[in-house]
């Protein structure tokens, strides 16, 4: 409150001038459109009251009585519903203009008023929370959103804001709490998100070395939704705890359900294990991970080996271990069996040929790769909306702009 008074003291004249001008403009517009709504007598009384207050406030200011001027000014604005709207509009305007402190002052002054309805106070409080949020005053934003939520529990947007902030600052316990509340008032299913939040919480526990709590959080995550991220962390946990058979089964399950995540799984498994409490854990982990990788490399599951992602993961693992010849053999074999291979496979093959010094072969395959890339790109696209086409278009069929065509290749 003190801050607000200070601010108003410094800017009183300009605030009064601005608000009175706005009020007058607003009433001009209102009257123009809804002339019948307000009787002339009522309109005149509003003008009269506002002019009087404006004069009083100015007089107080001139004689140096700032407190009285502010009081007069603050009392002035709730003469009718429209002036409250102007307050809200001004607050919103300041906020969107980046003048957060001014927005905060306006909304705080609204909240502090005695003669407003509860719903208006709640609305002002919500606006204030948004001010803090936009201004990056995280703690104030959280507290204010919480106050808003206490008054009315059924506000998905407030709960979503609390979820977002806690997810931003990675406070997963709070994020979880508010997601659960949100799932009760929102129509959208939150299970997948809740599962992800619990996995994030489990991840934090994992890197702290609290494997038992980590497992508990993961089990909760699985209850909401069996997300891939939960499965990958569980696999990691099996490895660190030495449950190699569980780890192997878990890896196979992930690969069968989501072969396209194969490379990502190994990237996650390779992430370093930081645990100062047990320095030997890292060594043990890497040893066991090696066993898991060997198991993966010796896989002969037909379905799995058909997947290009699985093959690419194998190739990458072999390259990491400098087994370039073996990588070449496996990839060549796979390409002979599967004629329609992607550019990623082809590019990997070219890289292997180069590392093996087989430059002639590499050149041939590079030419084929370039042809393939060329064919897979359309020749023209719309510079406005990105619409792709091989034919010439003067008016884009998608965004309907004229002559937005762009050429990918200068022919
Ligand atoms: Zn277009």
Give the Å distance between the CA of 370 and the centre of ligand 1: 27
Give the Å distance between the CA of 392 and the centre of ligand 1: 13
Give the Å distance between the CA of 398 and the centre of ligand 1: 5
Three-state secondary structure call for residue 116: coil
Q: What is the mean pLDDT of the segment spanning 103-123?
A: 86
Please give the DSSP secondary-structure letter assigned to residue 407: E
Question: Could you give the count of Cα atoms lying within 13 Å of 3 in the half-sphere of its Cβ?
Answer: 8
Give the Å distance between the CA of 371 and the centre of ligand 1: 27
pLDDT of residue 307: 85
27 vs 270 pLDDT, higher one: 270
Q: What is the mean pLDDT of the segment spanning 261-269?
A: 89
Give the Å distance between the CA of 388 and the centre of ligand 1: 9
User: pLDDT, tens digit, for every residue of 222-232?
Assistant: 999 888 889 99
pLDDT of residue 35: 42
Write out the H or E segment, with its range, that includes residue 388. strand 388-389
- Binned at pLDDT 50, 70 and 90, residue 280 comes out as confident
Dihedral sign from CA coordinates of 149, 155, 157, 159: positive
- Binned at pLDDT 50, 70 and 90, residue 221 comes out as very high
Angle between helix 81-96 and 100-112 (nearest 10): 150
- Binned at pLDDT 50, 70 and 90, residue 8 comes out as low
4 vs 237 pLDDT, higher one: 237
- Please say if the pLDDT value at position 239 is more than 80: yes
Which pTM value belongs to this model?
0.64
List the structure tokens of 147. Answer: 């106050």
129 vs 10 pLDDT, higher one: 129
Give the Å distance between the CA of 227 and the centre of ligand 1: 37
pLDDT of residue 369: 87
Give the Å distance between the CA of 375 and the centre of ligand 1: 22
pLDDT of residue 38: 44
Q: Are the CB atoms for 402 and 386 separated by under 8 Å?
A: no
Three-state secondary structure call for residue 179: helix
- Binned at pLDDT 50, 70 and 90, residue 123 comes out as very high
- Secondary-structure percent of the chain, ordered helix, strand, coil, rounded to 5: 75, 0, 25
- Please say if the pLDDT value at position 324 is more than 80: yes
Give the Å distance between the CA of 220 and the centre of ligand 1: 47
Q: Are the CB atoms for 63 and 51 separated by under 8 Å?
A: no
Give the Å distance between the CA of 372 and the centre of ligand 1: 26
Write 56-65 long-range contacts (CB < 8 A, 24+): 57/12, 57/16, 58/16, 61/12, 61/13
List the structure tokens of 314. Answer: 């194998």
Distances (CA, A) of 188 to 14, 138, 191: 46, 26, 9
201-210, 251-260, 278-287: the lowest-pLDDT one: 278-287
Mean pLDDT of the chain: 82
Give the Å distance between the CA of 393 and the centre of ligand 1: 10
- Please say if the pLDDT value at position 136 is more than 90: yes
Q: Which of 370, 374, 255 is nearest to 309 (CA)?
A: 255
Give the Å distance between the CA of 377 and the centre of ligand 1: 17
User: pLDDT, tens digit, for every residue of 352-397?
Assistant: 999 999 999 999 999 988 887 777 677 788 989 989 888 888 889 8
Give the Å distance between the CA of 409 and the centre of ligand 1: 18
Residue whose tokens read 């316990």: 173
Three-state secondary structure call for residue 154: coil
List the structure tokens of 2. Answer: 């003190």
Three-state secondary structure call for residue 107: helix
45-54, 94-103, 164-173, 359-368: the lowest-pLDDT one: 45-54
pLDDT of residue 29: 56
Residue 119 exposed, middle or buried by CB count within 10 Å (0-12, 13-18, 19+)? exposed
- Please say if the pLDDT value at position 188 is more than 70: yes
Q: What is the DSSP string of 29-61?
A: HHHHH-TTTS-HHHHHHHHHHHHHHHHHHHHHH
Taking the C-alpha atoms of residue 378 and residue 368, their distance in angstroms, rounded to an integer, is: 18
Give the Å distance between the CA of 382 and the centre of ligand 1: 5
Range from 55-64, 157-166, 274-283, 305-314 that averages highest in pLDDT: 157-166
Taking the C-alpha atoms of residue 343 and residue 368, their distance in angstroms, rounded to an integer, is: 10
Give the Å distance between the CA of 59 and the centre of ligand 1: 61
Give the Å distance between the CA of 395 and the centre of ligand 1: 8
Burial 330-346 (b: 16+ CB within 10 A, else e): bbeebeeeeeebeeebb
201-215, 242-256, 291-305, 365-379: the lowest-pLDDT one: 365-379
pLDDT of residue 82: 66
**Percent of the chain at pLDDT exceeding 70:** 77
Dihedral sign from CA coordinates of 304, 305, 310, 314: positive
Taking the C-alpha atoms of residue 154 and residue 162, their distance in angstroms, rounded to an integer, is: 14
Give the Å distance between the CA of 402 and the centre of ligand 1: 8
- Please say if the pLDDT value at position 166 is more than 80: yes
Give the Å distance between the CA of 217 and the centre of ligand 1: 48
Give the Å distance between the CA of 378 and the centre of ligand 1: 14
pLDDT of residue 34: 45
Q: Which pairing describes strands 405-407 and 388-389: parallel, antiparallel, or unpaired?
A: unpaired
pLDDT of residue 411: 45
Q: What is the mean pLDDT of the segment spanning 70-77?
A: 55
Q: Which residues contact 324 (CB under 8 A, 6 or more apart)?
A: 318, 352, 355, 356
- Please say if the pLDDT value at position 275 is more than 70: no
Give the Å distance between the CA of 383 and the centre of ligand 1: 7
Angle between helix 81-96 and 2-33 (nearest 10): 120
Give the Å distance between the CA of 68 and the centre of ligand 1: 61
78 vs 377 pLDDT, higher one: 377
Residue whose tokens read 């502010």: 70
Q: In what order do the strands lie in the sheet with 380-382?
A: 388-389, 380-382, 405-407
- Binned at pLDDT 50, 70 and 90, residue 153 comes out as confident
pLDDT of residue 283: 84
Phi (first) and psi of residue 400, to 5 degrees: 65, 25
List the structure tokens of 84. Answer: 């409250």
- The residue length of the chain stands at 411
Give the Å distance between the CA of 411 and the centre of ligand 1: 22
pLDDT of residue 70: 47
């Amino acid at each position: 409150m003190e801050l607000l008074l200070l601010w108003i003291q410094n800017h009183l004249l300009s605030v009064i001038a601005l608000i009175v001008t706005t009020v007058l403009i607003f009433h001009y517009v209102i009257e123009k459109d809804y002339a019948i709504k307000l009787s002339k007598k009522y309109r005149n009384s509003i003008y009269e009251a506002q002019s009087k207050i404006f004069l009083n406030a100015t007089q107080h200011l001139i004689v140096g009585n700032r407190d009285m001027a502010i009081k007069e000014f603050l009392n002035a604005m709730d003469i009718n519903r429209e002036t409250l709207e102007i307050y809200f509009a001004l607050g919103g305007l300041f906020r969107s203009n980046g003048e957060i402190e001014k927005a905060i002052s306006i909304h705080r002054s609204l909240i502090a008023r005695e003669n407003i309805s509860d719903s208006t106070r709640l609305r002002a409080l919500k606006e204030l929370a948004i001010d803090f949020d936009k201004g990056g005053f995280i703690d104030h934003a959280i507290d204010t959103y919480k106050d808003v939520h206490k008054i009315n529990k059924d506000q998905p947007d407030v709960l979503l804001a609390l979820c977002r902030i806690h997810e931003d600052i990675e406070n997963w316990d709070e994020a979880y709490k508010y997601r659960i509340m949100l799932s009760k008032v929102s129509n959208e299913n939150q299970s997948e998100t809740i599962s992800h939040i619990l996995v994030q919480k489990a991840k934090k526990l994992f890197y702290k070395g609290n494997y038992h709590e980590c497992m508990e959080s993961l089990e909760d995550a699985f209850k909401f939704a069996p997300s891939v991220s939960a499965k990958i962390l569980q696999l990691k946990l099996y490895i660190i705890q030495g449950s190699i058979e569980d780890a192997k089964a878990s890896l196979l399950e992930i690969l069968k359900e989501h072969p396209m995540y194969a490379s990502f799984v190994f990237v996650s498994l390779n992430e370093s294990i930081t645990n100062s409490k047990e320095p030997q854990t890292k060594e043990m982990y890497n040893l066991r991970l090696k066993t898991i990788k060997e198991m993966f490399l010796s896989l002969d599951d037909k379905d799995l080996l058909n997947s290009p992602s699985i093959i690419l993961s194998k190739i990458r693992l072999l390259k990491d271990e400098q087994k370039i010849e073996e990588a070449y053999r496996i990839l060549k074999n796979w390409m002979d069996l599967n004629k329609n291979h992607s550019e990623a496979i082809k590019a990997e093959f070219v890289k292997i040929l180069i590392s093996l010094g087989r430059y002639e072969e590499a050149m041939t395959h590079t030419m084929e790769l370039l042809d393939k890339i060329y064919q897979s790109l359309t020749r023209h696209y719309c510079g406005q909306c990105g619409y792709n086409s091989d034919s010439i278009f003067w008016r884009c069929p998608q965004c309907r702009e004229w002559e937005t065509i762009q050429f990918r290749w200068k022919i």
